[in-house]
Structure 1
Amino acid sequence: MTDALTLTRPDDWHLHLRDGEALAAVLPHSAAQFARAIVMPNLRPPITTAAQAQAYRDRILAARPAGSDFQPLMTLYLTDRTPPDEIKRARAAGVVALKLYPAGATTNSDDGVTDLKHCRATLDAMQREGLLLLVHGEVTDPAVDVFDREAVFIDRVLIPLRRDFPELKVVFEHVTTREGAQYVTQAGDAMTGATLTPQHLLYNRNALFTGGLQPHWYCLPVLKGEEHRQALVQAATSGHPRVFLGTDSAPHAAHLKEHAGGHAGCYTALTALELYAEAFEAAGAMDRLEGFASHHGADFYGLPRNTGTVTLRREGWTVPAAVPFGQAELKPLRAGERLAWKLS
């Protein structure tokens, strides 16, 4: 048993920062844990052009705590109408990826893609320019059970996408199923990676219902059964070079999580590394945490690994019950509970 673990400074390859007061409230949490983060573009209105991405990046940089060198990596929101010539402008502006939200799949996805056939020219331009495609891997067909939507997405969307655009790098984000984990780790497809969230490594769908409905454990894709959680832990702790950290930390005001139409998303940015450490320690794989958190994502994106370090220490502490969130409050995952690890 180790009481301290020093890692190459990690990155978050899937993060929601929002904007305005909300951005100012949550950015310090991610900046304290990570050197860089892939920033999601599903604002209202969404970030669909290179110029909008540059402006959003400027707002993020302006909101950094004093002395922080946190770097946002910007993305565009793919729509049915994203013009192919926007991809060259995006590359010139430093945008690294486009995000595929199937229309209606999750928060602020109403402008998402209805059918990839509308995007073929744009995907071809991305393949030429070397921009990645980040996918929310669920179908939205109402005839498909919510717990099966990821597996169906693989068959209906991902496999044809890989066949038609073999040189396009794809990140299958927040994988939640055994089928998703097996597709990435066993398909022999070097152009597809995956991110895993702390909540999907630590919890199965029972967490949504233990002691009544638990809205702060509700995210999309939803938590799945225990056999799926175990498959995700196996993938995360295997040392596979195309499986890496992506929190999908998604802040929502507490009153919007706790009402009848509660918003989807778990807020984990405050305690992300501590939660991942808990999952890796439970699997007896603390020696694999650095690769997952600090190396594999940078390598897949073709970016240099960070040079600094962070240290996790075995130190019991209590997660705050709530943190400020503009004019509201935000309740992090595990609010009021004890954690065994603390980032020092």
Structure 2
Amino acid sequence: MTQRLTIRRPDDWHLHLRDGLMLAGVLPETARHFARAIIMPNLVPPVVTGAAAAAYRDRILAALPEGMEFRPLMTLYLTEETDPDDVAAAHQSGLVTAVKLYPAGATTNSASGVTDFDKVRPVLERMAEIGLPLCIHGEVTMPEVDIFDREKVFIETVLDPLRQRTPGLKVTLEHVTTADGIDYVAGEAGDIAGTITAHHLMIDRNHILVGGIKPHYYCLPVAKRRRHRDALRRAAISGNPRFFLGTDSAPHSDEAKESACGCAGCFTATNTMACLAHVFEEEGALDRLEGFASLHGPARYGLPPNAGTITLVKEDAPVPYPDKIATGAGPVTVFDPGHPLYWRVA
């Protein structure tokens, strides 16, 4: 049985760091293992211009503890007022790695997102011209659509028409949660990829609802049926370079999560690699973990793999992980996979 596994240092292609005291508290949890991360722009106010992205990047680097190496890959929040010239300039300067599309109201701090997709066509067309990727939160928000069907309906009614109208647009469907999403990414021609989170590889909707409501398993897109989780696992271990890790690690204080209207998000930065090693070992695919976590993402975004490595070690006894991370914005509960983890990063 494999007890040690050395892989290229991984990257996180979908990460929430927030700002201020929360940023300072959670950033070390990512920087400990990950060399780079695509940083989500849904702050309040959102990061909508190149100048705002540069300022946010500087705040992240200022919060990085001494001795840690980490490169934030910045994104812009797409709105119906986004200036194509500003987007192009931010990309040309090397500041911005992608643009993020949130349908208005789809998730935390998405009120400024897109309602009328025709209004963002000039930006998308410019992005297709210059090769700037679009990262998409793939859910519709109409109240008549069941929350467990939002991804499927989005693909059919928004994503596919959007891609047909904008040839050459490079799209990443983020945090895929359904077999429908997996099939779409894997089966489509053109430049499309999908990120998968560690927590969606481990939980299904029973974890949220059976035996009482578990707010720390609640995220958006919400976890689906077990058959969808199994489809995500098959994609992650497949070796298909269109699929790679984006944790969607999303910190909220316990007060915000454990309330009458709890916030959506699972905080997984602390134990993502242990969770992934557990899943890939369960599926008999440890030899493909490096591709999923460390190689496919850089290839997708035109970056070299990281030069450094990390070593995962499997212990005989369960590895203790903290229940919570203390931050100046309040305690943040670490994702609990629901069973012991035996892997750790050496």
- TM-score, length of structure 2 as denominator length: 0.97
Output the CA distance in 1 between the equivalents of 2:56 and 2:328.
Answer: 18
Once residues 336 and 292 of structure 1 are traced to their aligned partners in structure 2, the CA distance between those partners, rounded to angstroms, is 23
Superposed CA offset, 1:36-75 (max 9, x none): 0000000000000000000100111111111112000000
What does residue 239 of structure 1 align with?
Answer: 239
Aligned twin of 1:52: 52
Q: Distance in 2 between matches of 1:6 and 1:115?
A: 47
Whether 2:319 is the aligned partner of 1:317: answer: yes
Length, aligned pairs only: 343
What CA deviation, in whole Å up to 9, does each residue of 1:131-163 have, x standing for no partner?
110000000111111000000011111111111
- AA aligned to 1:297 is G
* Letter in structure 1 aligned against 2:105: G
Residue 38 of structure 1 aligns to which amino acid in structure 2? I
The question of whether the paired residues in 2 share the 8 Å contact of 1:195 and 1:244 is answered with: yes
1:196 counterpart letter in structure 2 = I
Structure-2 change in CA distance of 1:343 and 1:231 (3 Å): same
For 2:237 and 2:97, how far apart are their aligned partners in 1? 27
Report the equivalent of 1:21: 21
In structure 1, what residue type is equivalent to 2:176?
V
- Equivalent positions of 1:111-150 (< 5 A) are 111-150=112-151
The answer on whether the counterparts of 1:99 and 1:133 sit within 8 Å (CA) in structure 2 is yes
Aligned equivalents of 2:241, 2:336: Cα separation in 1: 29
Residues 250 and 265, structure 2, Cα contact 8 Å, conserved in 1? yes
The aligned counterpart of 2:107 is 106
Structure 1: any 5+ residue segments left out of the alignment?
Answer: none
Whole-angstrom distance in 2 between the partners of 1:2 and 1:228? 28
CA distance 1:203–1:336, change in 2 (3 Å): closer
Q: Give the residue type in structure 1 aligned to 2:207.
A: A
Cα distance, 1:336–1:149 mapped onto 2, change above 3 Å: closer
Of the three residues 331, 340, 343, the one matched with 1:341 is: 343
Q: Partner letter of residue 168 of structure 1?
A: L
TM-score normalised according to structure 1 size: 0.98
Cα pair 1:319 1:338 within 8 Å, conserved: no
Q: Which moved more, 1:111-120 or 1:123-132?
A: 123-132
The correspondence of residues 156-195 of structure 1 with structure 2, limited to 5 A, is: 156-189=157-190, 191-195=191-195
* Whole-angstrom distance in 2 between the partners of 1:175 and 1:72: 22
Q: Could you say which residue in structure 2 is the equivalent of 1:252?
A: 252
Matched, 1:64 2:64: yes
Task: Judge conservation of contact 1:14–1:248 (CA < 8 Å) in 2.
Answer: yes
1:190-339 aligned within 5 A: 191-315=191-315, 316-334=318-336, 338-339=340-341
| Residue in 1 that maps onto 2:9 | 9
Question: Secondary structure of the residue that 2:56 maps to in structure 1?
Answer: helix
Q: What's the CA shift for 1:336?
A: 9.3
1:75-86 superposed matches below 5 A = 75-86=75-86
Shifted more, 179-188 versus 131-140: the winner is 179-188
SS of the counterpart of 1:127?
helix
Give how far 1:340 is off. Answer: 1.1
Distance 2:308 2:166 in 1: 36
Query: In the aligned structure 2, how far is the partner of 1:253 from the partner of 1:48?
Result: 25
Deviations 1:4-49 (A, max 9, x none): 1111111000000001110000000100010000000000000000
**Cα distance in 2 between the residues matched to 1:282 and 1:157:** 35
Cα pair 1:36 1:70 within 8 Å, conserved: yes
Q: Which moved more, 1:180-189 or 1:20-29?
A: 180-189
With over 3 angstroms needed to count, the CA separation of the structure-2 counterparts of 1:188 and 1:125, relative to structure 1, is closer
Are 1:33 and 1:272, in contact at CA under 8 Å, matched by a contact in 2? Answer: no
Cα pair distance change 1:213/1:172, threshold 3 Å:
same
Spell out, residue by residue over 1:152-202, the C-alpha distance to the aligned partner (whole angstroms, 9 max, x if none).
01111111111112211100000000000011112233x101000011111
User: Matches of 1:235 and 1:324 in 2, distance apart?
Assistant: 34
Between stretches 326-335 and 192-201, larger displacement belongs to: 326-335
The DSSP-based 3-state class of the residue aligned with 1:244 is: strand
- Whether the 8 Å contact between 1:217 and 1:266 is mirrored in structure 2 is yes
How far apart, CA to CA, are the structure 2 residues paired with 1:302 and 1:225? 34
Local SS of the residue matching 1:96: strand
Shift of 1:104: 0.2
Q: Is residue 203–residue 337 contact of structure 2 (8 Å, CA) maintained in 1?
A: no
Displacement of 1:84 after TM fit?
1.4
**Aligned-residue offset at 1:337:** 6.1
Query: 1-side partners of 2:202 and 2:229: how far apart?
Result: 7
